[in-house]
Amino acid sequence: MSFVLKEADPQLQAAVAHTRQVVAQLHAELPRWGLVVWTAGNVSERVPGADLFVIKPSGVSYDELSPDVMVVCDLEGHKVTDGTPEWLTPSSDTAAHAYVYRHMPEVGGIVHTHSTYATAWAARGEEIPCVLTMMGDEFGGPIPVGPFALIGDDSIGRGIVETLKNSRSRAVLMKNHGPFTVGRDGRDAVKAAAMCEEVARTIHIAREGGDLAPIAQHHIDSLWDRYQNVYGQHEE
C-alpha cells in the first residue's frame, strides 16, 4: 500500500475516475443478463497507463454500486490509499484478478460470476463442447475447466492463467466454483461472461434432448478466424 493516489498526476487521476465510472456501470449488466444472485459477482478493469485496476467492494449490494464505492488496487491486489473510507475493502476475489493482470498483460478486464449454467458445468468439472456457431465465433472452441482451488493464496489466479494460456477461450470454468472471463477491457469481459452463460445454458439443454451434432474442427477454425480477423470489433 505504498501508492497514494491523491499525490498522483492529474492525468492518472482522471483515468482512475473514468475507470471507476465504467466499472460501476458494468456491474449493472450482471443482474440485467441474469448472471448474479445477491452480491455474488464482480467486474474489474485495468486503469490505462498504470499498474492499477478498479474492482467491486466486498459485500455491497448491486443497488449501491456507484463509482464512489469502487476500490482501486495495485497489481498485488492491495487497495491504494485514495481517500475512500476504510471499510470499503476490495472483493474477496481480488487476489485472483490481480494475479491475472500481472501475468496476462493483454487482459484489460476480468469478470467473475456464479452464473447458473456455467457453474453447473463447473460442478461436474466438465468442459463445454463447441457445437454452436456463436461459440466458435466467441470462444474458438470448448470452454475449458480450471482446477479446484481455494481462496487464500495464488492458486485461483494461477489456475485461471494456466488454463487460459492453453486455450483460445477467454472464459474458464473453475471446478466446483464458477466462471472467470477476461477481455480487452471490462465491457469485453462482461460480454464474454454473458455469452459463456448463454452457451452453457443452450448446450446443456440441447444435450438433455439427445446427441449433439458436432461441428468439424476446420469449420470451428473458420468461424474463429473470420470473427477475429475480418469483423474485428463488430459484435455480431
Q: Catalog residues that contact its own copies under the rule CB under 8 A.
A: 33, 37-40, 42, 58-59, 89, 91-93, 114, 116-117, 119-121, 123-126, 131-134, 148, 150-152, 175-178, 191, 194-195, 197-198, 201-213, 215, 219, 222-223, 226, 231, 233-236
Residue (7 or 230) nearer to its own copies, CB: 230
Q: How far is the CB of 90 from its own copies (least distance, A)?
A: 10
Residue (53 or 227) nearer to its own copies, CB: 227
Which DSSP string corresponds to the chain?
---BGGGS-HHHHHHHHHHHHHHHHHHHHHHHTT--STT-EEEEEEPTTSSEEEEPBTT--GGG--GGG-EEEETTSPBPBSS--TT--B-TTHHHHHHHHHH-TT--EEEEE--HHHHHHHHHT-PBP--SHHHHHHHSSPBPEEPP--BTBSHHHHHHHHHHHT-S-SEEEETTTEEEEEESSHHHHHHHHHHHHHHHHHHHHHHHTS------HHHHHHHHHIIIIISTT---
Q: How far is the CB of 202 from its own copies (least distance, A)?
A: 5
Q: How far is the CB of 11 from its own copies (least distance, A)?
A: 28
Residue (15 or 223) nearer to its own copies, CB: 223
Q: How far is the CB of 69 from its own copies (least distance, A)?
A: 13
Q: In the block, which residue shows the cell 443452450? A: 202
Q: How far is the CB of 7 from its own copies (least distance, A)?
A: 29
Residue (125 or 142) nearer to its own copies, CB: 125
Q: Chain-centre distance of CA 112, in angstroms?
A: 5
Distance from C-alpha of 200 to C-alpha of 99, rounded to nearest angstrom: 26
Residue (14 or 212) nearer to its own copies, CB: 212
Residue (15 or 115) nearer to its own copies, CB: 115
